Amino acid sequence: MRRALDHLSLLTRTNFKMANTPPPFPSILIVDDIPYIRLYFRVALESFGHQCEEASHGLDAIGKLHNRHYDVVLTDVQMPHLDGFELAKCLKEDPSLGSPIVLMMTASNTDLLAPLAQAAGVRKIFAKPCHPVVIHQEIMDIRQRFPTAA
């Protein structure tokens, strides 16, 4: 926890916005059942220029996706009510949810979960702890490779 707060403090004191990067940055829905993890990623990713909102589990995320378009969904795997895999499958199968790019975080073995994540439509799975700079860079790489994707 202390290490996460140190990273958060560093990110909020440093201006990471890149010069000559065309706004708007992709919008992100952060889905995790642990409030301080959502806060950590929201504050960090907002420091790069992303507009972020939070959802506490998959069903909460589905509700938010019915009301607003997000370019990216950053989700945990293990959550109550609707886990990250079920959420990703819903996003893949229901075009009314806007077809956002899905990125996943997990404290479990990513090598074992990668085939399940790919089948569910997840673009990339990250091992926790994952630094927000890595998430931001992945989003910007996707945006550069596939300009209409994010």
Per-residue pLDDT, 86:
97
Q: How many domains does the chain have?
A: 1
Q: Kindly report, residue by residue over 36-71, the tens digit of the pLDDT.
A: 999 999 999 999 999 999 999 999 999 999 999 999
Per-residue pLDDT, 24:
67
Tell me, yes or no, whether 109 lies in a domain: yes
Burial (Cβ within 10 Å: 0-12, 13-18, ≥19) of residue 27: middle
What are the residue ranges in the chain where pLDDT is below 70? Answer: 1-24, 148-150
Tell me, yes or no, whether 103 lies in a domain: yes
Tell me, yes or no, whether 93 lies in a domain: yes
Tell me, yes or no, whether 128 lies in a domain: yes
Owning domain of residue 70: 2-11+25-145
Tell me, yes or no, whether 17 lies in a domain: no
Tell me, yes or no, whether 19 lies in a domain: no
Tell me if 43 sits within 8 A of 12, measured CB to CB. Answer: yes
Tell me, yes or no, whether 18 lies in a domain: no
Per-residue pLDDT, 12:
46
Tell me, yes or no, whether 20 lies in a domain: no
CATH of the domain at 65: 3.40.50.2300
